[in-house]
Amino acid sequence: MPQLDDLVLFAVIFGSVAAAVVFPDIGQVFQPYLLFFMMFMLFLSFLKIDFRALLDTSFSVLRGLVMMAAVKLMVLPVVLYGLALVVIPDYAIPVLLISGISTGVVAPFIATLLAADVAPVLRMVIVTSLLVPFSLPCLVKLLAGREIAIPLETMIQLLAMVIFVPMAAVLFFRRFFPGIIDGLVARQFPFSLVLFAVINLGVFSKYSDFVFQHPKQLIVSAVVAYVLCVIYYLTGFLITPGRKSSQRLAAGISLAIMNNVLVIVFSSRFFGPLSPTLAAMYMFPFFTMIVPIKILAGRRRETSSGETHKT
C-alpha cells in the first residue's frame, strides 16, 4: 500500500502541474530561477553521498559505466527509433532525440528520493553529458539525414554550475557547518516537495496556452512519453541481472531521467513542433512515475529482505 509520503508526493506533483496549466501567471514567477532550484535539488541529493565512491576506477565499475553509456546513447535510441518508424512514424525523430539525450542533471536527486545507488547515476550524468554533443548529432545524421548541433561548451557549463557547485557546497558545509547538514537531512522530504512544486509551476506554466490549443496532440505525446518511460526503467532492470535492487534501480533512473528540457531548447530550432512537444510532455512521467517506482522498489526490497531472512 502507498504510504502517506507517497500520496503527498503524488498530490504535490499533479497539483502543481494542474495549477501551472490553469493559473500560468503563478508559475511565471518561478521561471527565471529554475536552474537554481535544480542546483538546490542536487545539493540535497549530495548531502548523504560519499564522494569517494566516484573515484572508484575498478574494472567492474568502469565496465558497467561503459555498458550503461552505450545503452543510453546508442542502443536505446537506435532501437526505439526503428520501432517508432514502424508503429508511429511521425514520432520517430522525437523518440530518437529524447532517447539519445544525456542522463538528467536531477537524476542523482531522484536516485536519493527512491533510495537507489547515487554514485553510478552521478557518473552517468557526467559521462553522457560530455559525450552527447558528439553521439546524438551523429545518430540523427546517420538515421534521419538531418543536421543538429549541441554545443559542448554549453554542456560543460551546465555540468559545472548545476553539479559541481552543489557538490562543492556540500563539502564546504560538511567541513565547517556539519550541524546544518544534519538539519537539512532531517527535513529533506518537505524541501523536496517544495522544489518539485516550484519546478513544475515554472516549467508547465510555459505551455499553458499550448495545452488548451492542441489537446489531441498533447494526449498522444503524453501516451508516447509514458510508454517510453516504462521502457527506459524496464531496460535498466533487464540489463543489470543479479545486482542489488538499489543498483538495478539506479540503472533505470540513469536511462529514464534525462535532460528533456535540453531537447525542448534545441529541437525547436531544428525540427517541427512534435519534438519539443514530446520532450515537454515527458515531464509528466519524469515526475509522476516516481511514486509507482518508489512503491515497486520498496516491495522488491521487502521481498528480498524477507527471503534473505528465511535463508
Phi first, then psi, for residue 258 (nearest 5°) are: -120, 175
What the block records as the C-alpha cell of 32 is 527565471
Other beta carbons within 10 angstroms of residue 175's beta carbon come to 8
pTM above 0.95, yes or no: no
What is the total residue count of the chain? 311
- Whole-number mean pLDDT of the chain? 86
Comparing 130-139, 173-182, 250-259, 295-304, the range with the smallest average pLDDT is 295-304
User: What letter would DSSP give residue 3?
Assistant: -
CATH number for 4-295 (one of 3.40.50.720, 1.20.1530.20, 3.40.47.10, 1.10.420.10): it is 1.20.1530.20
Report yes or no: 78 and 139 within 8 Å, Cβ to Cβ: yes
| DSSP β-bridge partners for residue 103 | 258
- Residues 142-154: what's their mean pLDDT? 79
- Residues 173-202: what's their mean pLDDT? 89
pLDDT of 234 strictly over 60 = yes
- The reported pLDDT for the residue numbered 2 is 56
